[in-house]
Each structure stands twice: as structure tokens, then as C-alpha cells.
Chain A
Amino acid sequence: NAGVMQNPRHLVRRRGQEARLRCSPMKGHSHVYWYRQLPEEGLKFMVYLQKENIIDESGMPKERFSAEFPKEGPSILRIQQVVRGDSAAYFCASSPRDSTNYGYTFGSGTRLTVV
């Protein structure tokens, strides 16, 4: 079992470009969560998805950010027109159905740097 796979590990974008972050959950996991970690801070919840559905996006900024988890393929976190403040580590986690109380399995994160 390869665990939760995130790519790329590092991503550099110029201001105004788009960033696409990918997350493949663990085999058998149908729930995906995205978290953001700013420097020297804890992780902050962004969005919770199941296949083809957004369940909770209460932590997502209203503009420029979107997430999807299609029937086939990885979950994608998309940031349009990136700004310096988007620089952070973005973590994806997955869990099997109805097992969120076990604390998820996290990927290694994507570090986004906006220059």
C-alpha cells in the first residue's frame, strides 16, 4: 500500500499563474481532505471531498481556490492567479468510509512557493 501520494513535492509559481496540486488517496479510501500549513503554524482545514462530491468547503477561500475529486483519478486542489500569501505547505489526507475518528492518513505535502 503506497499510502497517500501527493505531487509535486515542491511547486514554484510566479504571481498570477495557476497552481495544481494532486492527491491520490490510499487504496480503498474514498474520503479526501485538504489542509494548509503556513510557516510556523499548525494545519488548517480547507475542504473535504468524497468521490464527485464536495462535502465541506468551509475552510476554502471564496475566490481563486477550488477542489475536485473525480470518479477516476486523483483529487486536485487548484489555485488560480496565485499571490505571495498562498505560499504554504498543502497536505492531503484520506480515510476509509466513516473512519475519520482514526485521524486520517496524511501525504507528505506539496510546498508551494510563489515568487
Chain B
Amino acid sequence: AQTVTQSQPEMSVQEAETVTLSCTYDTSENNYYLFWYKQPPSRQMILVIRQEAYKQQNATENRFSVNFQKAAKSFSLKISDSQLGDTAMYFCAFIPGTASKLTFGTGTRLQVTL
């Protein structure tokens, strides 16, 4: 069974600063995909970034980037130049290449302050 662990229940960052959210996972699969989702107060689940396990290059989407360490089973999210609109719950998620269901972590609540 796969598990996803987010060890930071809450984080705070000042506007324009950089913050890193941690995620570790456990799996015996070799082919899989990892995701970060953002859930603002509106409750909408928004895909922020995805990473394919067989790609060594870390994914980047504008101000969002990941540090994917396959051997350590670590998948952290870095948010640069934080904006007030980044305030949300952030969920790390995992899906094996052979299955269809996402496994989510328990989330990190990020607060961006002035």
C-alpha cells in the first residue's frame, strides 16, 4: 500500500518570500506520478504541478517548483515570490503507473502574510 506523509500541518510565509512544503511517500512501485494540489477556501482542488518518477529533471511551473528525490522518496514544493493568493491548503498526492486512484497526504495549511 502507498502512503503519503506531510509533516507540516501549518506554514506561514511573508509576501514575496520563498517557502518549501515537505512531502514524503512510501511505495514499492518503480513507475508512478506525484502531484501537488492547492485547495483555497473555495474548496476547489487545483492541480499545481506534477512530476513523473522516471524523469530526473524537477518539474517547474512559473513560481512553483519541486525537489524530487526518488531514492529518498521525497517530493517537496517550493513557492517563490509568495503571493496572498497562494494562501490555501496544499496536498501532496501519489498515483502508481498501474492504478487509477490518487493517494493524498493530510495537507499543509499555508498562510501568506503582508
Contact surface of A with B, Cβ cutoff 8 Å: 31, 33, 35, 40-45, 48, 55-56, 58-59, 89, 91, 93, 100-106, 108-109, 111
- What CA separation (Å) do A40 and B45 show in the bound complex? 15
Q: Are B95 and A106 in contact (CB under 8 A)?
A: no
Mostly, the A contact residues are: strand
Taking CB atoms, residues of chain A closer than 8 Å to B46 are: 106
B95 — which chain A residues lie within 8 A by C-beta?
A: 100-101, 103
With A91-B45, A108-B44, A109-B43 as known contacts, state yes or no: A43 contacts B104, CB within 8 Å: yes
Contact check: which of A31, A103, A109, A111 meets B35 at CB < 8 Å?
A103
Task: Say which residue of A56, A91, A105 sits within 8 Å of B101 (CB atoms).
Answer: A56
Q: Could you tell me if B43 and A103 are in contact, using CB atoms closer than 8 angstroms? A: no
Q: In terms of DSSP, what is the predominant structure of the interface of chain B?
A: strand
Decide if B100 touches A103 in the complex (CB within 8 Å). no
Task: Give the Cβ gap from B25 to chain A, nearest Cβ, in Å.
Answer: 13
Contacts of B105 in A (CB 8 A): 42
Identity of the chain A residue whose Cβ is nearest the Cβ of B50 in the assembled complex: A103
| Chain B residue at minimal CB-CB distance from A89 | B43
How many angstroms between the C-alpha atoms of A48 and B45 in the bound complex? 18
